[in-house]
Amino acid sequence: MLVVNSNCNEVGGCQRDSPQETWVREDLAAHPALCTLAMWHHPRFSSAEHGDDPAMRFIWKDLYDAGADVVLAGHDHTYERFAPLDASGARDPKRGIREFVAGTGGRSLYKFVDVHPLSEVRENTAYGVLKLTLRPDSYDWQFLAAEGDFKDEGTGKCH
């Protein structure tokens, strides 16, 4: 698991060869794992108010090249689950990274502005949390709504 700072200006940038990007790349090389999860604040891909954040593209590519499986983000106050994506944001069911935007834990919920074509599930009317169960070779997800009937759950295989 990696925790990365997507407030790029605060950490010397997120671009190629920035201190953080170098650390991510070197850490992934030094600690290969069957299942890798990374998290940061600003989503790389999002259909809500703030939209896609290209600042994280190099770190996403490092994760993709290393075979990472899941990225968690917040910032947009919605719940959104994406199909597994490659470094350019195209569908890649074999090696792609599944991103979850889970910003439904507090303040007001946002509207979806421009639905990303590879967004599989979106919710912006229910507060709740994302429960992840991590295993050596797979992971389960379940969105737990504070109220209402919205559900999203499934299983992913690590690669």
Domain boundaries, the chain: 2-157
Chain centre distance of CA 10: 20
Q: Tell me, what's the pLDDT at 10?
A: 95
Q: Which CATH superfamily is domain 2-157 in?
A: Metallo-dependent phosphatases (3.60.21.10)
Cα separation, 65 vs 74, in Å, equals 23
Cα separation, 100 vs 83, in Å, equals 10
Q: Tell me, what's the pLDDT at 141?
A: 98
| Host H or E run for residue 139 | strand 138-145
Q: Tell me, what's the pLDDT at 106?
A: 80
Q: Tell me, what's the pLDDT at 41?
A: 97
Token pair of 151 as six digits: 């559900």
- Whole-structure pTM over 0.85, yes or no? yes
Name residues of the chain where pLDDT drops below 70.
none
